[in-house]
Amino acid sequence: MTQTPGPTTTGAPTVALLGTGTMGAGMAANIAAAGLGLRVWNRDRAKAEPLAAAGAHAAGSPAEAVRDVDVVVTMLWDAGSVVEVMTAAGPGLRPGTVWLQTSTVGVDGAERLAGLAADLGLTYVDAPVLGTKKPAEDGTLVVLASGPEPVRATVAPVLDAIGSRTLWVGEAGAGSRLKLVANAWVVTVVEGIAECLTLADGLGLDPALFLEAVRGGAMDAPYVGLKGRAMLAGDFTPSFSLAGAAKDAGYVVDAARSAGIDLGVLAVVREHLDRAVAAGHGDLDLGATYLAHQGGGA
């Protein structure tokens, strides 16, 4: 028998979250902790069932998960997987349901999903998030939301649960475009750290001296120390996978080319990330691009 979402805060929306992987599991736990009735689904059900302890119901199918809820949240790998799962959810969807799409899918992907939302009779909110595994677990993601203004109040309790800040940036699709800009910065910084550490080593220096030289100054940033120290320690526990970063770098380059923009640096960064994935490091953290500069050794 299909279960309805659990008890909710008065007037709060009921929610289905599809995709309880690295990001989705933390997001789901925070939605449930906020008192919103929640169903979750994941292709590997074993990744969804632990959320029962947080008050969520692990559904057996996407259609079961979305039946009679107010808001559907998707956090999946790419546009293709989102299309597949939402198409499977179709029989359980009711017209007018708000679809809060938080996956990183690129410009073309966001347009494709907007078309699918129209076909399914859903209200589409394009809302990718900034942050990795720990911010997802802590409920401190930054949400780059875009979509129709009348549904902002409906999704606000969900966005408040998963993030520390929501930035509304215009019509649906603008959020995905801004996410590419932000991720372009992330992959450029991380690749730059890897190259600087490699250069220091090649010049006969202790690579840690680079981190010490910039620490606390105008050239420093929290991410520099965080990722740089992890690279030198060989700690590549994934918070944002290298494969995911390479995928997103591809979205950035493709979007820039479509817009007639020359992003020479990003094109090279994309090649370096792809090389690191091909070397077998895709399941590791983005910082594992450093390993490709070390000849692929661990």
Each residue's pLDDT tens digit, 274-291: 999 999 999 999 999 999
Selected residue with higher pLDDT from 257 and 10: 257
Rounded Cα distance between 104 and 216, Å, is 32
For residue 56, the one-letter residue type is A
CA separation, residue 61 to residues 17, 92, 276 (Å): 12, 10, 35
pLDDT at 1 over 60: no
Phi, psi of 244 (to 5 degrees): -65, -40
Exposed/middle/buried for residue 155 (C-beta within 10 Å: 0-12, 13-18, 19+):
buried
Q: 58 has which bridge partners? A: 40
pLDDT recorded at residue 11: 74
In the block, tokens 């595994």 appear at 133
pLDDT recorded at residue 251: 97
pLDDT (mean) for 54-78: 97
Q: Answer for the pair 65, 20: CB distance below 8 angstroms, yes or no.
A: no
Confidence (pTM) = 0.92
Each residue's pLDDT tens digit, 82-129: 999 999 999 999 999 999 999 999 999 999 999 999 999 999 999 999
Read off the DSSP letter of residue 6. Answer: -
Tokens for 257? 């080319």
Helix count and strand count (H, E) for the chain = 12, 9
pLDDT recorded at residue 294: 85
Rounded Cα distance between 288 and 207, Å, is 16
